[in-house]
């Protein structure tokens, strides 16, 4: 048995390694594809900061016992019945949306994220400001961030399944009219189990006709079949999460051969009980199968993470090499919803970077 002092030295060395990996990972150019804007706690934090009586907003409404809820129900409770959901309507102003988008982009730029796709789809934001109003407020922050920090960004409009196919179609119509405001794609999210993809075929087809990229949350709470359906019925080019693809070898081959990219968010998967730990996360198996895999933060404020920490955690725990980290980032550049020439330039930018050690 090792002496306590030796144990202590080993732990200190381990911590120092993780710290130095974090520094390298923070410096290398990155691309992030799966990042939600307004389901995070950003607006709530802003309300707490601005309001003269902060106690009005600061009661902890966190779930008492997350383990009591499973699958999408747990996510719903975490996001909407939790603190993030208790935000007064008057906080949804264009100015505040510009501020939180600016915060998000500043945080991304500080980690040398060169391009990020930010998702927006909250019912309350769209109700208060309209789809165009919300996107205009975000675009103001994006222009400012690009001018100041050189970070480029595109927006994905999220269609929430439980709000039904009619609303999805109407929102796609509005999103398609906002391509001048950096809208590059749509994202289908929400309750996979009770709202099958077939319900949203028309909405997604309309988005495709408008030239928007298609990403679908699938293979998260439901099995590999939902990924097959997202690809074949909805023409998904990317899959949000998709970790359960690992259960189906034929699907892995398909994803590899057709370059359908998985947007993996390790902390989110673990917090929602989809993987027991980073060590048991299927990311390594997916990577080994040649599937285009990307690493993302999903909802950084709610999950208390960011893309650097996500990469450091998979690198440290799964023992990924510097080349494998570059492969993950490169896969994100390749799968960005950008014109081909811009995507290639982005890929070169992140590939020529010095590799992390
Ligand atoms: Zn998501």
The torsion region of residue 241 among left (phi > 0), alpha (psi -120 to 50) and beta comes to left
Q: Note the pLDDT of residue 356.
A: 46
The pTM for the full model equals 0.87
Largest CA distance in the chain: 67
Q: Note the pLDDT of residue 10.
A: 65
Helix (H, G, I), strand (E, B) or coil at 173: helix
Q: Note the pLDDT of residue 44.
A: 67
Residue 204 lies in a domain: yes
Residue 5 lies in a domain: no
pLDDT under 50 in the chain at which residues? 1-2, 40, 56-64, 81, 83-84, 355-357
How far does residue 258's CA lie from ligand 1's centre (Å)? Answer: 22
How far does residue 297's CA lie from ligand 1's centre (Å)? Answer: 9
How far does residue 344's CA lie from ligand 1's centre (Å)? Answer: 25
Residue 24 lies in a domain: no
Which residues lie closer than 8 Å to 96 by C-beta, 6 or more apart?
A: 43, 46
Q: Where in the sequence is the domain holding 61, given as residue range(s)?
A: 31-351
Residue 211 lies in a domain: yes
Residue 15 lies in a domain: no
How far does residue 347's CA lie from ligand 1's centre (Å)? Answer: 23
Q: Note the pLDDT of residue 328.
A: 97
How far does residue 161's CA lie from ligand 1's centre (Å)? Answer: 13
Residue 311 lies in a domain: yes
Number of domains in the chain: 1
Give catalytic status of residue 220 as yes or no: yes
Residue 140 lies in a domain: yes
Q: Note the pLDDT of residue 149.
A: 96
How far does residue 240's CA lie from ligand 1's centre (Å)? Answer: 6
Residue 25 lies in a domain: no
Q: Note the pLDDT of residue 76.
A: 59
How far does residue 47's CA lie from ligand 1's centre (Å)? Answer: 23
Angle at 221 between CA 338 and CA 332, to 5 degrees: 20
How far does residue 280's CA lie from ligand 1's centre (Å)? Answer: 20
Helix axes 322-335, 340-351, angle to 10 degrees: 170
- pLDDT, one tens digit per residue, over 219-271 is 888 889 999 999 999 999 999 999 999 999 999 999 999 999 999 999 989 88
The answer to whether 216 and 230 have CB atoms below 8 angstroms apart is yes
Out of 32, 117, 220, 324, the active site residue is: 220
CATH number for the domain that contains residue 175 = 3.20.20.140
How far does residue 7's CA lie from ligand 1's centre (Å)? Answer: 39
How far does residue 236's CA lie from ligand 1's centre (Å)? Answer: 15
Distance CA 119, CA 127 (A): 16
Q: Note the pLDDT of residue 219.
A: 84
Which residues lie closer than 8 Å to 63 by C-beta, 6 or more apart?
A: 69, 74, 77, 78, 81, 82
């Amino acid at each position: 048995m090792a002496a306590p002092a030796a144990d202590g030295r080993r732990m200190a060395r381990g911590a120092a390694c993780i710290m130095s990996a974090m520094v390298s990972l923070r410096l290398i150019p990155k691309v992030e594809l799966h990042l939600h804007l307004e389901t995070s706690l950003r607006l709530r934090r802003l309300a707490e900061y601005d309001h003269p009586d902060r106690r009005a907003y600061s009661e902890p409404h966190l779930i008492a016992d997350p383990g009591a809820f499973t699958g999408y129900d747990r996510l719903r409770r975490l996001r909407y019945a939790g603190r993030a959901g208790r935000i007064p309507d008057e906080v949804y102003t264009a100015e505040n949306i510009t501020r939180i988008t600016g915060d998000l982009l500043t945080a991304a730029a500080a980690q040398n994220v060169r391009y990020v796709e930010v998702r927006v789809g909250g019912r309350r934001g769209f109700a208060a400001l309209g789809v165009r109003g919300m996107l205009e407020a975000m675009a103001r922050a994006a222009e400012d961030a690009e001018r100041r920090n050189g970070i480029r960004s595109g927006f994905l409009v999220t269609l929430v399944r439980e709000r039904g196919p009619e609303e999805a179609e109407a929102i796609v119509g509005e999103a398609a009219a906002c391509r001048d405001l950096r809208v590059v794609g749509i994202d289908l999210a929400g309750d996979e189990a009770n709202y099958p993809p077939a319900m949203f075929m028309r909405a997604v087809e309309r988005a495709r006709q408008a030239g928007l990229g298609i990403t679908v949350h699938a293979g998260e709470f439901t099995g590999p079949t939902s990924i097959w359906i997202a690809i074949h019925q909805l023409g998904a080019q990317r899959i949000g999460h998709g970790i359960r693809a690992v259960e189906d070898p034929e699907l892995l081959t398909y994803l590899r051969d057709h370059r359908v990219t998985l947007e993996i968010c390790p902390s989110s998967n673990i917090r929602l009980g989809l993987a027991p730990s980073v060590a048991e996360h299927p990311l390594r198996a997916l990577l080994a199968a040649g599937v285009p895999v990307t690493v993302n933060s999903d909802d950084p404020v709610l999950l208390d993470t960011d893309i650097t920490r996500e990469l450091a955690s998979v690198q440290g725990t799964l023992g990924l090499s510097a080349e494998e980290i570059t492969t993950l980032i490169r896969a994100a550049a390749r799968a960005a919803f950008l014109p081909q020439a811009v995507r290639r330039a982005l890929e070169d930018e992140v590939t020529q970077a010095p590799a992390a050690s």
